[in-house]
Amino acid sequence: MKFDELLMIPGPVQVHSRILNAMAKPLIGHRTPEFSDIMKNCTLGLKELFGTDGDVYLISGSGTAGMEAAISSFSKVSRITCIDNGKFGDRLCRIASRYTEVDALRFEWGESIDLEKVKESLENGSEAVAFVHNETSTGILNPAREIAKIAKKHSALVIMDGITSVGGDEVKMDEWGIDVAIVGSQKCLGIPPGLAAVAVNERAWEFYNEKAPFYLDLMAYKKKLKDWQTPYTPAVPLFVALNEAIEMIKEEGLENRIQRHRKFSRAVREWAVNAGLELFPRLNEYSSYSNTVTAIKMPEGITDKELRGTLKQEYSITISGGQEHLKGKIFRIGTMGNIGKREVVATLMAVEDILTRKGCAVPAINHALEVLK
């Protein structure tokens, strides 16, 4: 028998039945007051998750579309500093280089960001900084507040990829001094992929580049937002799903939600180190472990295929491997979105079962239970 899968990857995440059912409702037209009500509700809800009084624009497309909309629309700068300490930092650099000169600050994947390098880059004339808040490829949480603080001293524009932090971890755009931030639908918000949101404060428009791609030009989204509409036909079922997700977040309470995400990832880390495994990120005083995904070094004696293949075959659970040159070297457990203690415990117990059978770990589930109780 083929059982339903449990997705414990850093997005797309498991989707709650309430959200699946919302998507299955008969379609409504997008140029209707009903759709505008949904759009308004989604926008206002997202503003709270971003921690901003600015606008939030909803783009039908993946997180990468949101990143490119943000960077291309606000690229009227002579140079932008892009911080790369993982796959998504690298992607920021590649996107930005299509629109302006890039000073790419590259750190080994898994390393923390050296803030001195950021300072230097800005002193050398960069007018903007782009970085990834929660780098899922390595399981590291980059120091958003500190980066923004340095940027502000140089009046630089600050663009933050919050694709895998917004809605699951603390994000305070206005308080921290972030001008533009992006979230993806299939991460902490708990809905399927296909929707991105870009939060933008007033100041960002000083950097507006009217040569952004037509589909990703945020000015068109800004104009339509006044009527709670999108410039191009939106992915309606995903908006309906987001509307339900926002409702669920309100019911849970944002602070409770953040604490739940933190507890779940702490449970994964406590389990891992006590099972004799090693966490992948190398922290410095400013960085921390991601609160939404945990990257663990693959132990000797088992291959990626054996671990993840058996997990899927025996338990119908999907976790992630490493990306690019980290393939086979790490595995990653996502703890994002609308999942409970049950999913976390089932996943850790199953991974532990497979690792201990191969002699690659020792039992440590009690350490997770201790955190989760």
Tokens 């949480």 sit at which residue?
Answer: 141
CB of 116 to a copy of itself, least distance (A): 29
Q: How crowded is the C-beta side of 124, counted as CA atoms within 13 Å?
A: 15
- Choices 55-63, 199-207, 257-265, 295-303 (CB under 8 A): range interacting with a copy of itself: 55-63
Element (H, E) at 262: helix 254-274
Which of 39, 65, 70, 245 binds a copy of itself (CB under 8 A)? It is 65
User: Among residues 91, 74, 73, which one has the least CA distance to residue 82?
Assistant: 91
By CB under 8 A, tell whether 305 contacts a copy of itself.
Answer: no
Would you count residue 64 as binding a copy of itself (CB under 8 A)?
A: yes
Only one of the segments 6-14, 39-47, 130-138, 164-172 lies at the binding site for a copy of itself (rule: CB under 8 A); that segment is 6-14
Query: Which among 110-118, 128-136, 214-222, 277-285 is the span making contact with a copy of itself, rule CB under 8 A?
Result: 214-222
Q: Which amino acid is at 32?
A: T
Q: Is 23 near a copy of itself (CB under 8 A)?
A: yes
- Near a copy of itself in 83-122, by CB under 8 A: 91, 94-95, 98
Q: How many CB atoms lie under 10 A from the CB of residue 264?
A: 27
For the chain, the farthest-separated pair of C-alpha atoms sits apart, in whole angstroms, at 61
Q: Decide if residue 25 touches a copy of itself (CB under 8 A).
A: yes
Instruction: Encode 275-305: b = buried (16+ Cβ within 10 Å), e = exposed.
Output: bebebbbeeeeebebbbbbbbbbbbeebebe
State the minimum distance, in angstroms, from the CB of residue 108 to a copy of itself.
24
Closest to 135 (Cα-Cα) out of 162, 159, 103, 117:
162
- Check residue 63 for interaction with a copy of itself (CB under 8 A): yes
Selected binder of a copy of itself within 36, 40, 48, 62 (CB under 8 A): 62
Q: Name which of 276, 277, 260 is nearest 344 in CA terms.
A: 260
Interface with a copy of itself by CB under 8 A: which residues? 4-5, 7, 9, 11-15, 20-21, 23-30, 32, 59-65, 68, 72, 91, 94-95, 98, 184, 186, 192-195, 211, 213-216, 232-238, 318
